[in-house]
Structure 1
Amino acid sequence: MDTKNNEPDENNDQNNHNEKPNEEVVKEDNSTNKFLDFVKKNIIAVLLALILITVLIWYSVKMNTNEKQYEKEKTELVIKSENERSALITKYESEKDSLQIKNLESSSKIFSWSVRSELLRNNTENLNQLLNAFVKESGADLVQLIDPKTNIITLSSDKKFEGAEYAQKIDYGLTEQHTVVKEDGIKIITPVMGLNSALGILIVQMDK
C-alpha cells in the first residue's frame, strides 16, 4: 500500500520539476520580445546612437594614434634644439585641436538628427537619456537646446539653465552648422531642422 501511495507523489515531483524550465523559457521569451519591441519602436534612435558611438570610437582611436606618434617624435628630438621641440609641440597641439573640433562637429551633427527625431515624436524622456549619453561619450562640458521662437533653453545638460532665457546672441536664421573657436573653448551651433524651419538650436560647448 505504501508503494502505491508514493508513486503519485513521485510523478507530481517530476511534473513540477519539468514545469520550471518551461516557466524560465517563457520569461526569457518575454524579455526578448520586450527588447525587440523597444528596438522596433525606436529603430531610428537606436541606429543613430550606433552611428554616433562608431564615430566617437573612431575619433578616440585617431587621437590615441596621433598622441603615440607625437610621443615618438618628441623622444627622437630630445637631443635636438629647443626650437625644434617647441615647433613639434605647437604642431601637435594644433593637430589635436583640429581633430577635436572635427570630432565635435561630426558627433553634434549626428546627435542633432536624434534630437530632431525625438522632437517630432515629442518624446522628452528619450531626449534626456540621449543628452546624458552624448555628454558622457563626447566629453562636452555643456549641451543645450534652444527654442528659436522664444529664446528659451528647453533642454540642458546642466539642469539649472532649463527654462531660462539664453543670454548670448544666436543667429536663428542658421540652416547649417556653425563653429565658434575662442581662447576659452569651442562652441558648435547646429540647427535642428524641421520641414520648413528650425525646431531648435543645439549648442555643444567644450571648454579649454
Structure 2
Amino acid sequence: MSIEERNNSEEVEKATAVAESRITFADKLITFFNNNKAATILTIVLLVVFIWFTIKIGTNEKNFNNEKKQLITQHESTIDSLNIKHLKFATEVFSWSVRSELLRNNTENLNQLLTVFVKESGADLIQLINPENKMVLLSSDKKFEGSPFQGNLDSEINESVVLKEKGNIKIVTPVMGFNKMIGILVVQIDREK
C-alpha cells in the first residue's frame, strides 16, 4: 500500500469513528431515555414546575411592589393631611394670641410670637397682613414687612382656609377685633423641602 492510500484510509477511519461516536452518543441518549422513562418524565415535570414557580414568584413580587407603593402613597397623603389639619388648628389658636397683641399694639411681643411659632410649628413663613390695604404688617421674614402681599387674598374670610398651591400650602386665618377684621394671618409651608 502506498502512503497516499494509508493516509486516505486513516482519514476515512477517523471520519467513521467520529460519526460512530456521534451516532453512539445519540443512540446512548435514546437508549437511556427508553430504559429510564420514569426518570425522564420526572425530570421534565421538575423542569416545568421550576419554570412555573419562577414565573409565579416574579408575578407575586411585582404585585407586592405595586401594593407597597400604593400603601406608601396612601400613608404619606394621610400623614400630610393630618399635619395640615394640626397646623390649621395651631394657627387658629395662634391667631388668638396675635389678636390680643394687636389690640394692645404690642409689635415687639408679636415679633417674638412669630419667631417662636415658626420654630415650633415647622412653618416656613408667617405674615400678618392689613386687611384694608393688603400690606404686610409683620413677617417672620423681615424683607416682606411694609410691602404689598404677594398672592390672592379674600378679605371677606370668616374662618381659617387651607390653600394648596404649586409648591406650598397656605393657611389663611382672619384675626378679628371687637367688630371688624384687624388682620389676616398667613402661615406658609413649603412642600419642596
Greater gyration radius: 2
Q: Which residue of 1 aligns with 2:97?
A: 114
The Cα shift of 1:182 comes to 2.9
User: Structure 1's 183 and 92: CA in aligned 2 closer, same or farther, altered over 3 A?
Assistant: farther
Q: What is the Cα deviation at residue 183 of structure 1?
A: 3.9
TM-score normalized by the length of structure 1: 0.61
- Correspondence 1:15-164 to 2 at 5 A: 81-164=64-147
Instruction: Out of 182-191 and 128-137, give the one that drifted further.
Output: 182-191
1:182 & 1:125 partners in 2: Cα distance? 31
Q: Check 1:94–1:206 CA distance in 2 against 1; reply closer, same or farther (3 A cut).
A: same
Secondary structure of the corresponding residue to residue 158 of structure 2 = coil
Q: Aligned equivalents of 1:80 and 1:150: distance in 2?
A: 56
Q: Which amino acid aligns with 2:176?
A: M
* Contiguous gaps of at least 5 residues in structure 1: 1-77
Q: Is residue 185 from structure 1 mapped to residue 168 from structure 2 by the alignment?
A: yes
Q: TM-score with structure 2 length normalisation? A: 0.65
Aligned pair count?
A: 131
Shift in Å at residue 167 of structure 1? 2.4
Q: What's 2:153 paired with?
A: 170
Unpaired runs of at least 5, structure 2: 1-60
Identity across the alignment (%): 56
Alpha-carbon distance change, 183 to 100 in structure 1, aligned in 2, over 3 angstroms:
farther
Q: What amino acid sits opposite 1:123 in the alignment?
A: N
Moved over 3 A (4+): none
Q: Tell me by how many angstroms 1:184 deviates.
A: 1.0
